[in-house]
Structure 1
Amino acid sequence: MPEAGNVLPIWAFPVAQEITEVLEWRTDVLSSHAGEQRIALRPRPREIVTFRHRLDALGMARAAELARAGFAGDWNVPLWHMALQPNADLVQGDTEILIPTGLSDLRAGGLVAIAVDGGDAAVMEIATVQADWLILAEPLVLQLPSPTVAAQRITVAPIRAGILTSPVEIARRRQGDGTVTANFLLRNAPEIAAPTMPSYLGRPVQTDPSLVRRPLTASLRRAVEYVDNGFGPVVVEPMRDVFERNETITLKAQGPTARYSLRRWLWSLRGRQASFWLPTWGYELQLCTAMTSGSVLMRVAPVASLDAYIGRRIMLEMPGALRFRTITAASADGADHRLTLSSSLGEPVPLTTKVHFLTTIRSDADRVEIQHGAVASEMTLPVVGVGA
Structure 2
Amino acid sequence: MRKLAIGVALATTALTPAMARDGAWYAGVEGGPMLVEDTDFDVNGVNDDLTIDHDYGYNFDGIVGYDFGAFRIEAEVGYQRADADEVITGSQGIGGNLLAGSVNDVNGYTDALSFMLNGMLDFGDDDGIQGFVGGGAGVARVKQVATVANTFVDDSDTGFAWQAIAGVRAPLTTNIDVGLKYKFFNVPNVDLVSNLGDTYEGRYRSHSILGSLIFNFGAPEPVVAPPPPPPPAAAPPPPPPPPAAAPPACNEGPYLVFFDWDKSNIRPDAATVLDNAVAQYANCGSARVMLAGYTDTSGTAQYNIGLSERRNASVQSYLQSRGIPAARISSEAFGETDLRVPTADGVREPQNRRVRITYGPGAGY
* Both proteins in one fold, TM over 0.5: no
In our comparison, the structure showing a higher alpha carbon Rg is 2
Using CA pairs under 8 Å that are at least 6 residues apart, name the structure with larger relative contact order, 1 or 2.
1
TM-score (norm 1): 0.19
